[in-house]
Amino acid sequence: MTTRDARTHCPYCALQCAMTLSPSVAVGASLDVGGREFPTNRGGLCKKGWTSAELIDSPQRITSPLMRDSRGELVPVSWEEALDAVAGAVRRSRAEHGADSVAVFGGGGLTNEKAYQLGKFARVALGTSRIDYNGRFCMSSAAAAGNRAFGLDRGLPFPLEDLDSASTIMMLGSNVAETMPPFIGHLAAAREAGGLIVVDPRRSPTARLTDDGGGMHVQPTPGSDLILLLGLTHIVIAEGLHDLEYLERRTTGFERVRRSVSSWWPERVQSQTGVPVHQLRAIARRLAQGQGTYILTGRGVEQHADGTDTATAAINLSLVLGLVGSANGGYGTLTGQGNGQGGREHGQKSDQLPGYRKITDARARAHVASVWGVEPASLPGPGVPAVELLQSLGAENGVRCLLVHGSNVVVSAPDVAAVRAGLARLELLVVCDFFLSETGALADVVLPVTQWAEEEGTMTNLEGRVLRRRKAIDPPAGVRSELWILSELAHRLGSAGEFSTEARSVFDELCRASEGGLADYSGLSYDALDDDSAPAYWPFPRGSSGTPRLFADGFAHGDRLARLVAVKAVERHPAAQKDGVVTLITGRLLEHYQSGAQTRRVPELLAAKPEARMQIHPATAELLGIDDGSRVQLSRGEADVHCRAELSLEIRPDTVFLPFHFGGEQSANLLTEQVTDPISGMPEFKRTTVRIRSLDTASVPEVVHA
């Protein structure tokens, strides 16, 4: 048990709000949470942060390894028995079906040390190329767009505090008022100047920040964001609002982009997006009018089959305006998961090695192999992205053993029914978690792991700032760190290389492995990170003081120029509103986080939002015979979701909204499809055609128009 306060950071989103954990004086509680002054949150926390310590003492906590017995039930076993069983099954699978029959699925909430060690474990101890993570469902499109435009992907290439002096901020597909509430403090200046522009099909709490002169809410049809961005770029160029000097000096590809947007005149864009011409022109002129203009994208515009192109179009608009890397403003994407940034930098992404190195790069392989103490030729090549990996579960020549760390794929992955079927075909499913999640409930072996307050480690927040997570309390006796689990399994598998169980030594190794890469951490150490007054933004090469602002002197391509990449949009028509057919969009609630595996176990949060509710416009609801609070069924093919309706004027009449935090018959991802972006592998989460009917009425009138 701790005897002093521990300075740490919230276990939830990528804002990584600073907090202090102290011994609790309350009966039945181990820790108290206090806000701590820090640039991102300035002492404030959201509901999730204030209640985060309750998970430490949750009666639903797993405190012993579980293994399925002869009756098919999960029963407590010793660590020796559990790890021996896992290692034995892995050895048999590799011997009979090859190394790629064993796969690893990671998470964007793992510390840098765990993400790094997981990638190393997969490639060295297992010898498999089959590793990916749930960040593929979150940041992959923005990352792909950033890499091809800038040669580098860091969510915000500037400190969050830079937004404090902005006069104009356009946010596309992000509802920060619910997903990371302390963020809205950084929007105050733009709101005061009337320059907050929120693009969202819903009138979300973030969109409502534009009321009373704070800016404007733009409400396009779902999935039309790419067309909207092409149209705005067209107006900027046609009206001579672009920064030609910046384009000539700092970019390449402008002429191709100019030609590619020439066909998206305002009236055509209005017909496709529903955004009026006068609003389109007002947005373009506002973005170009002066100093302090920022364009920020989020999952709402990126979680589409054209998500990479949509993020690229946002970058193109930013470059055409001369914003990126200048004093005039900038472009950024809002990382979602707690370590969504660091989690993809150091090796759990299927095509990357530590330091954001490509696994196909011979020099990168040689460098990392030398740190790991193995031959470069022994490292496997690139694997496959998350959706493709999940599709291969139990298939002929596919994955037969799956190890899941920090993810709940039975709730978070698209086409949940297909994922469940794939998991059922496996010979071995191992889940590391602190609660019995929906995925854990299907596992053959469940391994209980430490929570954030019980371990040391580092996280990299949405700004690319590396932060120290400090231990505040000892874990329950039967719980182990994933670093220890990976070390024990590596030993049982006779692996080459060293697998330390100490977070500090793993971080030191990570820093060496990343040296010379795009995400270079080589100048960092735990001691350096202990001083919050000296922020550590990567790249942080040995001997440097870090890089708070990227691209001021050039981009990460060899010629130091940014790439404007011409992208095409296909006309996308909304679902025909007949017989209850509408467009479904999914998203988050203030009270819950990701798959809800943690927040649904906090009584206060669960009481506030105990179930999924489908948000529907009253006019549409009336036509379908749906009352507020009535039971409804949403269907796509043979997939059904049952939940309650919530009537709201904040949703378009042709659209419904469903949060994705719930499992079982309320799981929104029963309805989403395994359609992915061909570049990033991002699933199409934000635009699904569904049919709705009331379960509380005998008959439903036909919808002709709403």
Asked whether 310 and 304 are in contact (CB, 8 A), the reply is: yes
- What is the β-pairing status of strands 251-252 and 562-563? parallel
What average pLDDT does range 289-313 have in this prediction?
Answer: 92
Q: Which of 423, 428, 426, 422 is nearest to 444 (CA)?
A: 428
Is pLDDT at 700 greater than 50 in this prediction?
no
Q: Name the phi and psi angles at 223, rounded to 5.
A: 85, 5
State the pLDDT confidence band at 428, using cuts at 50, 70 and 90.
very high
Asked whether 123 and 374 are in contact (CB, 8 A), the reply is: no
Which of 440-444, 540-544, 697-701 comes out lowest in average pLDDT? Answer: 697-701
State the pLDDT confidence band at 570, using cuts at 50, 70 and 90.
confident
Give the model's pLDDT for residue 336: 84
| CA distance linking residue 166 with residue 159, whole number of Å | 13
| CA distance linking residue 630 with residue 320, whole number of Å | 49
Give the model's pLDDT for residue 705: 34
Is pLDDT at 706 greater than 60 in this prediction?
no
CB count, 10 Å around CB of 508? 18
| CA distance linking residue 589 with residue 599, whole number of Å | 11
What average pLDDT does range 675-682 have in this prediction?
Answer: 92
| Tokens found for residue 214 | 């704070």
Cα dihedral across residues 541, 545, 551, 552: positive or negative: negative
Sequence ranges of the chain with CATH classification 3.40.50.740: 66-138+339-501
Cα separations in angstroms, 298 against 155, 462, 465: 10, 12, 19
Give the model's pLDDT for residue 696: 87
Calculate helix-pair angle for 482-492, 79-97, nearest 10 degrees. Answer: 50
Q: Which of 596, 634, 598, 600 is nearest to 614 (CA)?
A: 634
What average pLDDT does range 454-481 have in this prediction?
Answer: 96
What average pLDDT does range 178-201 have in this prediction?
Answer: 96
State the pLDDT confidence band at 26, using cuts at 50, 70 and 90.
confident
What average pLDDT does range 345-374 have in this prediction?
Answer: 96
Question: Residue 673: which H helix or E strand, with range?
Answer: none
| Rg of the chain over all Cα atoms, to the nearest angstrom | 25
| Tokens found for residue 248 | 């000539």
Is pLDDT at 558 greater than 60 in this prediction?
yes
Architecture of domain 581-694: Beta Barrel (2.40)
Q: Name the phi and psi angles at 293, rounded to 5.
A: -110, 125
Cα separations in angstroms, 436 against 248, 386, 473, 665: 56, 22, 22, 18
What average pLDDT does range 562-575 have in this prediction?
Answer: 84
Give the model's pLDDT for residue 703: 37
Which of 111-120, 436-445, 676-685 comes out lowest in average pLDDT? Answer: 676-685
* Domain 6-57: top CATH class: mainly beta
| CA distance linking residue 124 with residue 315, whole number of Å | 37
| Tokens found for residue 614 | 């489908």
pLDDT tens by residue, 232-272: 999 999 999 999 999 999 999 999 999 999 999 999 999 99
Is pLDDT at 39 greater than 60 in this prediction?
yes
| CA distance linking residue 292 with residue 323, whole number of Å | 9
Q: Give CATH for domain 140-333.
A: 3.40.228.10
State the pLDDT confidence band at 573, using cuts at 50, 70 and 90.
low
Give the model's pLDDT for residue 702: 44
DSSP secondary structure string for all residues of 598-656: TGGGSHHHHHHS-S-EEEE-HHHHHHHT--TT-EEEEEETTEEEEEEEEE-TTS-TTEE
| CA distance linking residue 367 with residue 232, whole number of Å | 44
The yes/no answer on whether domain 66-138+339-501 falls in CATH 3.40.50.740 is yes
Q: Which of 241, 139, 52 is nearest to 685 (CA)?
A: 139
Sequence ranges of the chain with CATH classification 2.20.25.90: 6-57
Return mean pLDDT, the chain.
Answer: 94
Residue 109 burial class via C-beta count within 10 angstroms: exposed 0-12, middle 13-18, buried 19 and up: buried
Asked whether 481 and 452 are in contact (CB, 8 A), the reply is: no
Asked whether 173 and 201 are in contact (CB, 8 A), the reply is: no
CB count, 10 Å around CB of 400? 25
| CA distance linking residue 458 with residue 179, whole number of Å | 22
Give the model's pLDDT for residue 532: 80
State the pLDDT confidence band at 327, using cuts at 50, 70 and 90.
confident
Is pLDDT at 290 greater than 80 in this prediction?
no
Residue owning tokens 């932060």: 467
What average pLDDT does range 488-511 have in this prediction?
Answer: 97
Cα dihedral across residues 538, 544, 547, 552: positive or negative: negative
Sequence ranges of the chain with CATH classification 3.40.228.10: 140-333
Give the model's pLDDT for residue 699: 41
Cα separations in angstroms, 6 against 19, 32, 146, 454, 535: 8, 11, 36, 11, 19
What average pLDDT does range 380-409 have in this prediction?
Answer: 96
Asked whether 175 and 586 are in contact (CB, 8 A), the reply is: no
Sequence ranges of the chain with CATH classification 2.40.40.20: 581-694
Q: Name the phi and psi angles at 402, rounded to 5.
A: -130, 130
State the pLDDT confidence band at 139, using cuts at 50, 70 and 90.
confident
What's the pTM value of the predicted model, to 2 decimals? 0.95
Asked whether 143 and 680 are in contact (CB, 8 A), the reply is: yes
pLDDT tens by residue, 69-110: 999 999 999 999 999 999 999 999 999 999 999 999 999 999
| CA distance linking residue 232 with residue 223, whole number of Å | 16
Asked whether 459 and 467 are in contact (CB, 8 A), the reply is: yes
What average pLDDT does range 29-50 have in this prediction?
Answer: 94
Share of the chain above pLDDT 90, in %: 91
**Residue 472 CA from chain centroid, whole number:** 26
Asked whether 680 and 140 are in contact (CB, 8 A), the reply is: yes
